[in-house]
Each structure stands twice: as structure tokens, then as C-alpha cells.
Amino acid sequence: MDAEALVNDYLGRLDAAATSLPPSRRAELAGEVRQHIEMALAEAGARDEVTVRNVLDRLGPPDEIVDAERQVDDPPPGWTLAPVQASAAARSPWGAVEIAAVLLLTVGAVFLPIIGPLLGLVFVWMSTQWTNRQKTIATGIVVLILFLPIILLLGLSAGGAATSGQL
């Protein structure tokens, strides 16, 4: 069974289990669960059968999700955010930490050379909105481009010292 068929099968079982919910809430729940699955797959960085099965296992059986939905404030295992919070977070992933990270990496890099981007990276690693892979790539970009001019500067000052020593 391929990944998409697994997701559809899971959503089908969820829909069947949710017959006792009001139709509007039933459709909303299906949308939220699909969104949660898509986000988990995007964070995992793969859509193969094993990854999809792991994500669905973490979500728990559809019956449990529906039971928890009836008890509103009691989320099932693996459901890290309450549905309302999850959809709000999906609408705007930009929190204070993410905004501070981007500001320090851009404006901070101009006004606080070296310290600004490094502080920005601290905020990047504090954020839960980026995956570890994305954080590593961003850190790699900063380190590579930051160390290149530092090495060049050291080379220039060493060259300057050598030149003045000759005079």
C-alpha cells in the first residue's frame, strides 16, 4: 500500500468513527488530522510507507481521536496540540522567536556584525518551527560566509604586517 493510500485509509477510518459527531465538526476534524499528518511528513522530510506508518501510529487509532474530540480538552496520544491551537499555529508559524531570529540575522548582521548573526542562530535553534535539518543548513550558511571574510581579513592583516615589516 503506498503512502497516500495509507493516509486515505486512515482518514476513511476516522470518518467512519466520527459518524456520531456533527457533520461540520466531522469535516473540520478530518481536515485538521490531514493537516497534522502533512505537517508531520514535511518535518520528517520523507513520504515513504514506513514514515507514514510511524506518523499514523503516533497519531493513534482514529477511534481514540474521535473519543478525545467528544471530550474536547483531552487530546489523544501523539496529538501534541489541541485542534484549535494546531490550526492557529498552522495559519501563522511566525512567533516571537522566529521573528527575532530573522531580524538578528538580517538587521542584526548590519548593526552587530558577527554577534548579530550568531545571536540570530541561537534563536533559530530555540525555535520549534524549523526542522533540525533546516537549522543545520542555516547555520552552515552563516558559518561558511562568516568565516570566509574572517580568514580573508586575517590574511590581509598578515599581508599588511609583512609589507610594513619590509619597509
Partner 1 sequence: MDIAGVVLLIPLAGILAAVYLVAVMGRRPK
- Minimum Å gap between C-beta 121 and partner 1 is 8
158 near partner 1 (CB under 8 A): no
How far apart are the C-alpha atoms of 35 and 127, rounded to whole Å?
A: 20
Using CB atoms within 10 Å of the CB of residue 24, give its burial: 0 to 12 exposed, 13 to 18 middle, 19+ buried. Answer: exposed
Applying the rule CB under 8 A, the residues between 29 and 68 that interact with partner 1 are: 35, 38-39, 42
Stretch that binds partner 1, among 12-20, 22-30, 74-82, 104-112 (CB under 8 A): 104-112
By the 8 A CB rule, do 67 and 14 touch?
A: no
Q: In the numeric block, which cell numbers belong to residue 61?
A: 487509532
How far apart, in Å, do the first and last CA atoms of the chain sit?
77
**DSSP secondary-structure letter at 112?**
S
Q: Of residues 12, 45, 95, 113, which one binds partner 1 by CB under 8 A?
A: 113
How far apart are the C-alpha atoms of 162 and 164, rounded to whole Å?
A: 6
Number of residues that bind partner 1 (CB under 8 A): 40
- Closest C-alpha among 112, 110, 106, 117 to residue 144: 117
Q: Which is nearer to partner 1, 42 or 161 (by Cβ)? A: 42
Q: Of residues 62, 75, 83, 116, which one binds partner 1 by CB under 8 A?
A: 116
Give residues in contact with partner 1 (CB under 8 A). 35, 38-39, 42, 90, 93-94, 98, 101-102, 104-106, 108-110, 113-114, 116-117, 120-121, 124, 129-130, 134, 137-139, 141-146, 148-149, 152-153, 156
